[in-house]
Amino acid sequence: MKGRVLVVDDDTALAEMLGIVLRGEGFEPSFVSDGDKALAAFRETKPDLVLLDLMLPGRDGIEVCRLIRAESGVPIVMLTAKSDTVDVVVGLESGADDYIVKPFKPKELVARIRARLRRSEEPAPEQLAIGDLVIDVAGHSVKRDGQSIALTPLEFDLLVALARKPWQVFTREVLLEQVWGYRHAADTRLVNVHVQRLRSKVEKDPERPEIVVTVRGVGYKAGPS
Amino acid sequence: MPEVGSAPPVGRSAGGAPEGVRPGRPVDPAGEIPLLRRLWSGGHLLPDGASGGPAHPLIRLLGRWVRRPLLPAARLWRRNIQLRVVATTLLMSLGVVLLLGLVVIGQVRNGLLDAKRHAAQGQAAGGFQVAEQMADRNSAGRSGDGADARGRVGQDAASWLNQLVEQLASGGKGAYSVVALSSASGDTPRVVSRGARVSGDVKQDSVPAGLREKVDEGRTTPYEQYGRILHRRSTKSEAALIIGKRLNDNHGDPYQLYYLFPFTQEEKSLSLVKGTLATAGVFVVVLLGAIAWVVVRQVVTPVRMAAGISERLAAGLLQERMKVTGEDDIARLGEAFNKMAQNLQVKIMQLEELSRMQRRFVSDVSHELRTPLTTVRMAADVIHDAREDFDPITARSAELLWGQVDRFESLLSDLLEISRFDAGAAALEAEPIDLRDVVTRVVDAAEPLAEAKSTRIVVRGAEQPVMVEADARRVERVLRNLVVNAVEHGEGRDVIVRLAAAGGAVAVAVRDYGVGLKPGEATRVFNRFWRADPARARTTGGTGLGLSIAVEDARLHGGWLQAWGEPGGGSQFRLTLPRTAGDALRGSPIPLEPEDSRRNLASGRGAEATGAPGAASREGAGERLAAVPAQPKSALSGADLPRLPGGAGLPTPTADPTALPGNGARVVPRGAAQGTPPAPGPRPGAVDTAVDRAADTAADTAHTTSTEREGRPRGR
């Protein structure tokens, strides 16, 4: 599996090290060290995934994340030194799909990147319905009354995971494993934030969700069709 | 009726005045005070002699009924200084006004009476003189007629008297009345037949009998007395001064002539004065009350404002200030208060700033350290992966580098976690979770380590959901710490994880049968960088901060993390959390000292047989010595029993939700514990050591204290 990875990091040593590891795993890394130049580099290299350090000179990582997300659904994995709730949640809300806290093991990083890239490789013709939404899994589209709704790949995966088993209540841990590819339970905030983001796109009234329903104390499930 | 002599002293006349003159006299309250006092003090009306036993329920009810409406008033009285001052002012000014009024009225009445008496005496003296002159003149005019004229004289005397009375009375219409009566002494029998002569409609009974006797005795002296004028045509009477004198008529026969001076005018004047005084008094009292209210308000308002503002300051509204006007004492109070508030605000803001800087610093250090560490770690990984290509020395170095980078990393993250707690930056994200899920994850994660140590991890009490509002991430971290510690120090024996819920609390206890804890270590284990035995090899290389962080995590939940242990008998760590986040804990569903502790095994058998596990350990030494080894209750199959060095089964710790032992900070009497007999049968392998360790065990449990009470572990 070849994948172009754009590394946005100002620490040259870390960037170089990341390059060594990524190349060793068969990825094609490209580098940019300045937040202001990140968007241009993104347009130029058209990567399959972005590794984004949150603390950058110039534009900070959150802003870069927002700009990239505004024009593309490409997976974004944040590198952050802060595991505090606020920082993580702000990063996830600005559009990142996943985050990884420094210092991380190379294998952990590669596993996360693989998990983000994997889903685009398995197209199976499948038609799903959740609420009043129609999901074309192979065509990667979600439509309500013929009107298509733009979702990032991660949000799409989340929705599909729920829609495939509408009778099942998914705990956050199960969703983490199925959608993010975490073997051991990690941070359930990932799920919370992305469910909020997904709801803001697919729900008619995000305050009273009908597509992704919260089951208090357990997790989430698909709303009745 | 009191009598007054011919020249009574002024002071006595006031006191001896007839009651009718003082209609507005205050009622003597003396008769009511004992009753009131009894109502206040005892709340019942029984006489003292009858209150020996408990008061009659009805009377108590009455007392309560009387007191109940008074309670809010009493509270208002205690709390409201303004009300108190105004009420006191009103009461005191009322007293003063009443006293003043009484004195003034007394003075005025005395003055009026004196004036009246003087005038009356003058008037009466004049009248008596006129009567004497008329009598003399008449007798002089008739002296020549001789004794034959005597028969006519009786008639003459009667008409003369009539004439005299009318003449005298005509001088003072309304101001006085005149009464002529026959003298009772009766020198001559004729006089007795003579009727009374009265002016106006005054009854002759108006003249009191006592006065008549005196007048008769006094011969020529005039007598006076206070009495009442009675009227023939109406029943009403009026107070009066009555002056009488014995005189001789034109025939030289004695008769009594009385002047009656009614006090009508004086009473009118007096009631006018009273009315004026009463009106003035009411005005004065009301005004004084109002003045007191206003004055107290001036003082109390700023005080209340200060109180309100201090409350708001205390509540955290640091920008609150008092309004200062003028330069008086109140203004000084306000200025001083504001200065204090200002200083407080500055100090608090400085502290907040420091705290913010501290947190900022920690965050920056975190970032600055973590980025290079990430690079180092990745480089170490790459080198480590390629170590087979190196010569043995370099390869070993690569391994050391790799391992120590790991350790450095966990140390750093633990330090940052601790500093986050210290900075108060740790936030609880509580949500309803099932503790069984957390325990399952923790146990699964610890499985590889347990296998390496050939330890079994047994979970008990997971038959039904154990729901709790908690931060899953933190609880998992705590439990991971406890389980990994237990496996590491368990020396290959079983580790038992117990779950239980009861009341408003849930608990997880992790029990191991390893080296245990020495006396005093039960609290020290939570200290930062504390190590059980500095000389012992660090096989797994913990950071020494794990339990400190765990305690902080528990505290963040409002929960407890406590340790119990006995040397050689293993240890138990118990995490207790309130079922609802923010609730206060009152007890834990699991006893801190497990039922299968050596001490309990040695002493608690007898009690256990009666179905009261745990309670026995707190009984006296006598019962302990008398304990009979009994078959331990075993709720689980032998396969679940922990493998012990002796290989024998133990009484299994069953989750007993009724065994709420409190905070676990129980103190075992040393003397009692030292009488503990050696552990009986079930643990033959432990018998040899049990005797010499029994005392240690007891001492250790005595040292088992709640970490909550100790506050932060030492080493800050």
Residues A8 and A86 in one domain: yes
Residues in chain A: 225
Nearest CB among A11, A82, A105 relative to B377 is that of: A105
User: Which CATH number belongs to the domain containing residue A28 in this structure?
Assistant: 3.40.50.2300
C-alpha B425: how far from chain center? 38
Smallest CA–CA distance, residue B580 to chain A, in Å, is 13
Residues A164 and A115 in one domain: no
Interface check for B380 against chain A (CB to CB < 8 A): the answer is no
B 451-480 residues inside an 8 A Cβ radius of A: 467, 472-473
Residues A174 and A101 in one domain: no
Write out the two tokens for B34. 């004992």
Residues on chain B touching A185 (C-beta within 8 angstroms):
441
Its domain, for residue A145, covers 123-222
Identify the residue with better confidence: B594 or B201.
B594
User: Which CATH number belongs to the domain containing residue A138 in this structure?
Assistant: 1.10.10.10
CATH-assigned architecture of domain B427-535+542-710 = 2-Layer Sandwich (3.30)
- Residue B669, pLDDT score: 36
- Residue B427, pLDDT score: 79
Q: Is the pLDDT of residue B692 over 70?
A: no
Residues A112 and A153 in one domain: no
Contacts of B394 (CB under 8 A, 6+ apart): B387
CB contact under 8 A, A82 and B366: yes
Contacts of A20 (CB under 8 A, 6+ apart): B378, B382
Axis crossing angle, helix B435-452 with helix B472-489, rounded to the nearest 10: 30
CB contact under 8 A, A217 and B366: no
Residues on chain B touching A55 (C-beta within 8 angstroms):
367
Lowest mean pLDDT among A65-79, A201-215, B302-316, B599-613: B599-613
Confidence category of residue A120, pLDDT binned at 50, 70, 90:
low
Interface check for A183 against chain B (CB to CB < 8 A): the answer is no
- Residue A100, pLDDT score: 87
Residues A138 and A102 in one domain: no
CB contact under 8 A, B431 and A102: no
DSSP element (H, E) containing B497: strand B495-502
Confidence category of residue B528, pLDDT binned at 50, 70, 90:
confident
Interface check for B433 against chain A (CB to CB < 8 A): the answer is yes
Residues on chain B touching A24 (C-beta within 8 angstroms):
382
CB atoms within 10 A of CB B252: 12
Interface check for A104 against chain B (CB to CB < 8 A): the answer is yes
Smallest CA–CA distance, residue B366 to chain A, in Å, is 7
Nearest CB among A85, A184, A187 relative to B427 is that of: A85
- CA-nearest residue to A216 within chain B is B432
Place of tokens 């907040």: B352
Residues on chain A touching B473 (C-beta within 8 angstroms):
187-188
Classify each residue of B391-423 as buried b or exposed e, where b means 16 or more C-beta atoms within 10 Å of its C-beta: eeeebeebeebbeebbebbebbbbbbbbbbbbb
Interface check for A23 against chain B (CB to CB < 8 A): the answer is no
A 111-170 residues inside an 8 A Cβ radius of B: none
Query: Average per-residue pLDDT in chain A?
Result: 83
- The Cα diameter of chain A in Å comes to 52
pLDDT digits (tens, 9 = 90+) for A154-174: 888 888 888 888 888 888 888
Interface check for B445 against chain A (CB to CB < 8 A): the answer is yes
Residues A128 and A201 in one domain: yes
Tell me if residue A90 falls in helix, strand or coil: helix
A 194-223 residues inside an 8 A Cβ radius of B: 216-217
CB contact under 8 A, A187 and B381: no
Q: Which of A165, A190, A166 is nearest to A179 (CA)?
A: A190
Residues on chain B touching A102 (C-beta within 8 angstroms):
370-371, 373-374
Domain boundary among A59, A94, A120: A120
- CA-nearest residue to B429 within chain A is A85
Query: Average per-residue pLDDT in chain B?
Result: 72
CB contact under 8 A, B377 and A184: no
Residues on chain B touching A173 (C-beta within 8 angstroms):
437
Interface check for B425 against chain A (CB to CB < 8 A): the answer is yes
CB contact under 8 A, A81 and B441: no
Tell me if residue B562 falls in helix, strand or coil: strand
Interface check for B359 against chain A (CB to CB < 8 A): the answer is no
Q: Is the pLDDT of residue B137 over 80?
A: no
- CA-nearest residue to A86 within chain B is B427
CA distance B413 to B409: 6
Residues on chain B touching A195 (C-beta within 8 angstroms):
none
Smallest CA–CA distance, residue B499 to chain A, in Å, is 19
Residues A148 and A112 in one domain: no
* Overall number of domains in chain A: 2
- Residue B507, pLDDT score: 92
CA distance B102 to B12: 16
Q: Which of A32, A31, A12 is nearest to A23 (CA)?
A: A31
- Residue A84, pLDDT score: 67
Residues A173 and A214 in one domain: yes
CB contact under 8 A, B381 and A13: no
pLDDT digits (tens, 9 = 90+) for B241-285: 888 888 877 777 778 888 888 888 888 888 998 899 899 989 988
Three-state DSSP string of B351-419 = HHHHHHHHHHHHHHHHHHHHHHHHHHHHHHHHHHHCHHHCCHHHHHHHHHHHHHHHHHHHHHHHHHHHH
Average pLDDT over residues B473-481: 90
Confidence category of residue A5, pLDDT binned at 50, 70, 90:
very high
- Residue A74, pLDDT score: 87
Smallest CA–CA distance, residue B548 to chain A, in Å, is 19
Interface check for A21 against chain B (CB to CB < 8 A): the answer is yes
- The CATH label, of 3.30.450, 1.10.10, 2.160.20, 3.40.1130, for the domain at B117-143+151-269 is 3.30.450
Q: Is the pLDDT of residue B39 over 70?
A: no
Confidence category of residue B393, pLDDT binned at 50, 70, 90:
very high
A 48-67 residues inside an 8 A Cβ radius of B: 55
Confidence category of residue B80, pLDDT binned at 50, 70, 90:
confident
CB contact under 8 A, A102 and B374: yes
Interface check for A90 against chain B (CB to CB < 8 A): the answer is no
Degrees, nearest 5: CA angle B577-B437-B584? 10
- Residue A31, pLDDT score: 92
Specify whether the CB–CB gap between B305 and B325 falls below 8 A: no
Smallest CA–CA distance, residue A15 to chain B, in Å, is 8
Average pLDDT over residues B449-475: 89
Domain boundary among A120, A144, A159: A120
CA distance B143 to B149: 10
Interface check for B441 against chain A (CB to CB < 8 A): the answer is yes
Q: DSSP per residue over B55-86, as a string? A: PPHHHHHHHHHHHTTHHHHHHHHHH-HHHHHH
Smallest CA–CA distance, residue A33 to chain B, in Å, is 14
CB contact under 8 A, A103 and B373: yes
Average pLDDT over residues A48-57: 85
- Determine which of A84, A216, A218 to mutate to test the interface with B (most B C-beta atoms within 10 Å): A84
Smallest CA–CA distance, residue A158 to chain B, in Å, is 22
Q: To the nearest whole percent, how much of chain B has pLDDT over 70?
A: 69
DSSP-derived pairing of the beta strands B431-434 and B457-460: unpaired
Write out the two tokens for B80. 């409201």
Three-state DSSP string of B190-210 = HHHHCCCEECCCECHHHCCHH
- Residue B141, pLDDT score: 55
Contacts of B590 (CB under 8 A, 6+ apart): B498, B500, B507, B509, B574, B576, B655, B659
Interface check for B362 against chain A (CB to CB < 8 A): the answer is no
**Helix (H), strand (E) counts: chain B:** 21, 12
Per DSSP, B49 falls in state G
Domain boundary among A91, A120, A149: A120
Q: Is B318 exposed, middle or buried (0-12, 13-18, 19+ CB in 10 A)?
A: middle
- Determine which of A101, A105, A107, A192 to mutate to test the interface with B (most B C-beta atoms within 10 Å): A105
Degrees, nearest 5: CA angle A102-A104-A108? 140
Smallest CA–CA distance, residue A217 to chain B, in Å, is 5
Q: What number of C-beta contacts closer than 8 Å exist between A and B?
A: 68
Q: Is the pLDDT of residue B369 over 80?
A: yes
Q: Which of A88, A74, A160, A158 is nearest to A117 (CA)?
A: A74
